[in-house]
Amino acid sequence: MPPFRPCCVARPRRVLGGCDFPADPGLPAPDAPVFWNPAEAPAAVVLVAALPDTGLSAIGLSPDRIRHTHDAGDLVFLQLETGTLLAGAVRDPDQPIGFLLPTDRNWPARRDAMERALGTLVDGTHPPSPLTFQQLRRIQMALRTLDARAEGATLRRIAEAFFGPARVAAEPWATSALKAQVARLAAYGRRLAERGYRDLLAGRPPTRRQ
């Protein structure tokens, strides 16, 4: 029986400031083998279990669909090629699996994540985002703003990157609506990095004010 491919977790890297990273921060997010605790991330991790041999016809986990694995003892964490995260006591890639749906307060988020994972397992497509296009765009802009500020970029420079120099120059910067918008994005990015990401993992869109 072919084994699961091992998880390629990078060694923690120490940088200025003494920060350790569980995975290489230079990797694109979909390629980083990061596995969330299912209890803390009901919208990001789908619980699965191997089905008994009772003649049931169900989907198995073929090794060629698994990007990373991590054996944590009681649970095996699996990251599929589509980015979907699964966790369960599943060590035989050919054995049919089923979904586990704990009846806790996170049941709706787990159910939605399960339905997205089912579509991925059936046809191999990337699961649709539970966030709207507008929510995703705002989150992306906020995190880009956060990164740019960390690199020393001014609000004006960020506004020019987002909206173009001509539009920024069209009104006085001191009272510019674009300046206020970028400042709000910077504040939103900080909230996302500090605690808003937990809302995403729990299946709740992060609010602009927390």
**15 pLDDT more than 50:** no
* Alpha-carbon span 185 to 47, nearest angstrom: 34
- What does the pLDDT look like over 124-146, one tens digit per residue? 677 777 888 899 999 999 999 99
140-166: burial string, b at 16+ Cβ within 10 Å, e else = ebbbbbbebbeeebebbbbbbebeeee
In a domain, 164, yes or no: yes
> Same domain for 107 and 138?
no
pLDDT at residue 189 is higher than 90 = yes
Do 112 and 203 contact (CB within 8 A), yes or no? yes
Q: What is the radius of gyration, based on Cα positions, of the chain? A: 21
Asked if pLDDT for residue 4 goes beyond 70, the answer is no
The answer to whether the beta carbons of residues 181 and 137 sit under 8 Å apart is no
Residue that terminates a domain, selected from 95, 123, 151:
123
Whether 118 and 166 share a structural domain: no
Has residue 10 been placed in a domain? Answer: no
Q: What is the pTM of this model?
A: 0.70
The structural domain count of the chain equals 2
CB atoms within 10 A of CB 187: 15
Mean pLDDT (whole number) for 86-112:
86
Residue 89 belongs to a domain: yes
Residue 108 and residue 139 share a domain: no
Q: What is the pLDDT of residues 27-65, one digit of tens each?
A: 666 566 778 888 889 998 999 988 877 776 777 777 777
pLDDT of residue 17: 39
Q: What is the mean pLDDT of the chain?
A: 80
Tell me, yes or no, whether 169 lies in a domain: yes
Inside any domain, residue 24: no
Domain boundary among 104, 123, 142: 123
Domain co-membership, 68 together with 92: yes
Place of tokens 């069209």: 170
Write the CA distances from 176 to 60, 160, 169, 173, integer angstroms: 56, 12, 9, 5
| Domain that includes residue 183, residue range | 133-202
| Residue 5 within a domain | no
